[in-house]
């Protein structure tokens, strides 16, 4: 298994061993269901409610949609996020935002994502989040991304808009030095 994972991901043998130890420590069975995933993820955001966002993230890692994330699923997603090309990372992000997996991001899907992020960050952030902030964020997103103004963002619009946006491109490169 380890050799195969090394070929399929951009992790070294040593990195995979470290990741595996951490994964097995949190999930002795070697598989994470959605409830376990939410519980583990909530430890990173004790000041807010991360359960909805964790569900979205779980679904993005559960690529075969069997209701569980194996170590292979986990390192495959992590490899894409941390070591993938910009296109790989953007495709992964699009998949995360496309909640019903129909190939388009709607305003409703984006609003669900934004609300879950604001919930996760907690009510007591500084400066305090305004109630309308998630909706404003969605409107800005669509103004920037929805090139043909049809009310949905396709993967092509998403990739093109992100690649033209210096801030997004810079944030994509932040992960280059992680791990």
Long-range contacts of 125-128 (CB under 8 A, 24+ apart): none
Q: What is the pLDDT of residues 120-153, one digit of tens each?
A: 887 666 566 677 888 998 999 999 999 999 999 9
Contact between 151 and 82 (Cβ < 8 Å): no
| Structure-token pair, residue 54 | 């964790």
133 alpha carbon, distance to own chain's centre:
20
Domains and CATH numbers, the chain: 2-82 (1.10.238.10), 86-177 (1.10.238.10)
Q: What is the pLDDT of residues 60-101, one digit of tens each?
A: 999 888 999 999 999 999 999 989 999 999 999 999 999 999
Contact between 148 and 158 (Cβ < 8 Å): no
Tell me how far apart the alpha carbons of residues 56 and 46 are, in angstroms, rounded to a whole number. 18
DSSP state letter for 30: S
Please report the pLDDT score of residue 132 as a whole number: 82
Mean pLDDT across the chain: 90
Q: What is the pLDDT of residues 20-73, one digit of tens each?
A: 999 999 889 989 999 999 999 999 888 899 999 999 999 999 988 899 999 999
Query: Where residue 174 falls among pLDDT bands split at 50, 70, 90?
Result: low
Burial (0-12, 13-18, 19+ Cβ within 10 Å), 79:
buried
Cβ within 8 Å of residue 120, ≥6 positions away: 45, 48, 49, 50, 52, 53
């Amino acid at each position: 298994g380890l050799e195969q994972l090394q070929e399929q991901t951009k992790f070294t043998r040593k990195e995979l061993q470290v990741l595996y130890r951490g994964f097995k420590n949190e999930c002795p069975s070697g598989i994470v269901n959605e409830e376990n995933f939410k519980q583990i993820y909530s430890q990173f955001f004790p000041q807010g409610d991360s359960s909805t966002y964790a569900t979205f993230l779980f679904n993005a890692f559960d690529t075969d949609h069997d209701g569980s994330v194996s170590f292979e699923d986990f390192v495959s997603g992590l490899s894409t996020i941390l070591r993938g090309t910009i296109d790989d990372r953007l495709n992964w992000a699009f998949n995360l935002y496309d909640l019903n997996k129909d190939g388009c991001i709607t305003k409703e899907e984006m609003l669900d994502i934004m609300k879950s992020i604001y919930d996760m960050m907690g009510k007591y952030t500084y400066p305090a989040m305004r109630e309308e902030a998630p909706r404003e964020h969605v409107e800005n997103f669509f103004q920037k991304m929805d090139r043909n103004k049809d009310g949905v963002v396709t993967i092509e619009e998403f990739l093109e808009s992100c690649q033209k946006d210096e801030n997004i491109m810079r944030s994509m490169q932040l992960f280059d030095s992680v791990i």
